[in-house]
Amino acid sequence: MTKRLPDEIADAFSFQAKACRDLASPFTAALCETLAAGLDESSAFGRRICAWGPRAKADALALRACGALHFLARSGKARALAAVYPPHALDEARLAREVACAIEAHDDFLAGFLDRPPQTNETGRSSVILGGALIVAAATGLPLETFEIGASAGLNLHFDRYGYDLGVGAFGDPSARLRLSCDWRGAAPSLDAPLQIVARAGCDVDPLDPGDAAHRARLLAYVWPDQNARLTRMETALALAALHRERVERADAGDWLAARLAAPPHPNVTRFVYHSVVWQYLPLETKRRATAALEAAGAAASRETPLARLQMEADGDTRSAALTLTLWPDGESFALGRADFHGRWIEWSGAVPHPAA
């Protein structure tokens, strides 16, 4: 008898299916359930998934598997599989048959695709980053030097270069090629805060180049196929990022932050560290080094050289992420509220630092 998925692996796929439904992707939810029900050790793809172990959920194994199949469907090499993907109507029985055929025909490719973690690099999260940056700019009265960890292809390095249509107003260049829409609720930060970015940098353990066609294809494969607006937004963001000189550095986040923050800060510039839906994927030792680097730099911060850290991270709620801002030299943390994982809405609280005098 062929061995089916172990319970801990099946649970990871079920958890992801629920998250996808909560985030308006019924197709990806159905695909997760199809894989959980149909995978076994008869294929290399199935054997790798069956043997993944207790980190299946933390490693986003279900999204790796879904990304592999989406990449294949988009590649033109599996037309029957593509025919059961959006915009075609969902037929779960037909989906299960075509997924099984695709695994049989492209087993080695699909198994190999699991090697690398998913990189959503969702530009909708730039609305959150913008909000945090505006709060910090207002609180310190200084320009920002930005540092993003887990930056993937660097699309959110450019958050200030996008245009925004927000429930509380607009921000940015009205003629920007990429405009992000977000429903801001609650006590939003002032859109008139003087936001100036004097330098920007990012790191990732496996960075992608927005100018590389293969890298673009991989990143697009991680966007859920029934969310066409996100796919279109990603394509535009990739094209824009390719025009800029900034590229994400290949580095461990802990090592990179330690090196960057150990350098003498520029006077009258705020160092702004941010990350979105990446902390859960980092090894414990990387988290320890990153936290230690931030705490050491925070202890040395002053009114002339402030340090800020913005976090948009999962906390167990599959419907939204928690938003937290820490600002040094005081070292005080503020619970800013919650946000949809893809930036469709933000619920801001009133807990923000007082503006600079």
User: pLDDT for 342-355, tens place per residue?
Assistant: 999 999 987 777 66
Beta strands in 77-186 (DSSP E): 144-149, 163-166, 169-171, 179-186
Cβ burial 108-132 (10 Å sphere, 16+ → b, else e): ebbbebbeebbbbbbbbbbbbbbbb
Query: Residue 101 is which amino acid?
Result: C
Q: Kindly tell me if the per-residue pLDDT of 97 is higher than 90.
A: yes
Which residue has tokens 């945090």? 132
Q: Are 121 and 63 in contact (CB under 8 A)?
A: no
Query: Residue 64 is which amino acid?
Result: R
Q: Kindly tell me if the per-residue pLDDT of 82 is higher than 90.
A: yes
Which residue has tokens 């607009």? 170
CA distance 313 to 329: 23
- Where in the chain are the domains? 7-113, 123-348
- Residue 105 is inside which H or E element, if any? helix 92-105
Helix or strand or coil: residue 342? coil
Tokens for 135?
């709060």
Q: In degrees rounded to 5, what are phi and psi of residue 146? A: -105, 145
Q: Are 133 and 272 in contact (CB under 8 A)?
A: yes
Q: Can you give the pLDDT at residue 1?
A: 43
| Residue 159: pLDDT band with limits 50, 70, 90 | very high
Q: Kindly tell me if the per-residue pLDDT of 50 is higher than 80.
A: yes
Calculate mean pLDDT across residues 299-310: 98
* Percent of the chain whose pLDDT exceeds 70: 98
CA distance 162 to 151: 17
Cα 59–chain centre separation:
14
* Percent of the chain whose pLDDT exceeds 90: 88
| Residue 181: pLDDT band with limits 50, 70, 90 | very high
Whole-structure pTM over 0.95, yes or no? no
Pairing of strands 197-204, 144-149: parallel
| Residue 189: pLDDT band with limits 50, 70, 90 | confident
CA distance 291 to 47: 36
Max intra-chain CA distance, the chain: 72
CA distance 343 to 307: 25
CA distance 31 to 25: 10
Question: In terms of Cα–Cα distance, which of 306, 151, 313 is closest to 237?
Answer: 151
Higher pLDDT, residue 37 or 187:
37
Q: List, edge to edge, every strand of the sheet that includes 345-348.
A: 169-171, 163-166, 179-186, 345-348, 332-339, 321-328, 307-313, 270-276, 144-149, 197-204, 249-250
Question: In terms of Cα–Cα distance, which of 159, 162, 152 is closest to 202?
Answer: 152
- Give the CA distances from residue 164 to residues 168, 192, 343, in Å, rounded to whole numbers and listed in that order: 10, 13, 12
Pairing of strands 169-171, 163-166: antiparallel
From 36-40, 188-192, 230-234, the region with the lowest mean pLDDT: 188-192
Q: Are 288 and 297 in contact (CB under 8 A)?
A: no
CA distance 70 to 82: 8
State the Rg of the chain over Cα. 21
